[in-house]
Amino acid sequence: MAQRKRYLFVCVNRRPDGTPKGSCAARGAVELHARLKERLKERGLAATEVRACTSSCLDVCWVGPAIAVEPDHFMYGRVRLEDVDEIIDGFVEGRRVERLVLSPDDYEEPRELRKRAAGKE
């Protein structure tokens, strides 16, 4: 197996329906992972450049679907199928898709979700 330059860890965690945080799987992450793999292969990047892998929870459910990008050590959030080609173009061109990069505030679970999860609605 060849070592790739980048690894995309796509959260495909599924929480029970109705969970306040939601889940990446419920927001289309499984399809997102499949599209990434397909497009990377079509563009000849899958074997040596970029590997798309599934991941369990990345702890940013409220901004899912989420993708951890390594070794660059940043995360994309709120990713949709329509974003896949732009993300791949970014890797080819050596840039990030800034509108999808999580900000420091995105890593903080919203207060209303913490209250609902604790049963204090």
The whole-angstrom separation of Cα 95 and Cα 97 is 7
The pLDDT tens digits of the residues spanning 19-78 come to 888 899 999 999 999 999 999 999 999 999 999 999 999 999 999 999 999 999 999 999
Instruction: Give this prediction's pTM.
Output: 0.89
With cut-offs at 50, 70 and 90, classify the pLDDT of residue 2.
confident
CA nearest neighbour of 92 among 28, 34, 39: 39
E strand segments, the chain: 6-11, 50-55, 67-70, 74-76
**Rounded mean pLDDT, 6-20:** 92
pLDDT(121) > 80? no
The whole-angstrom separation of Cα 18 and Cα 40 is 33
The CATH T-level fold of domain 6-117 is: Glutaredoxin (3.40.30)
Contact 100, 80 (CB under 8 A): no
The pLDDT value given to residue 113: 61
The whole-angstrom separation of Cα 103 and Cα 29 is 20
pLDDT(100) > 60? yes
The pLDDT tens digits of the residues spanning 78-92 come to 999 999 999 999 999
The pLDDT value given to residue 8: 98
Q: Tell me 101's DSSP state.
A: B
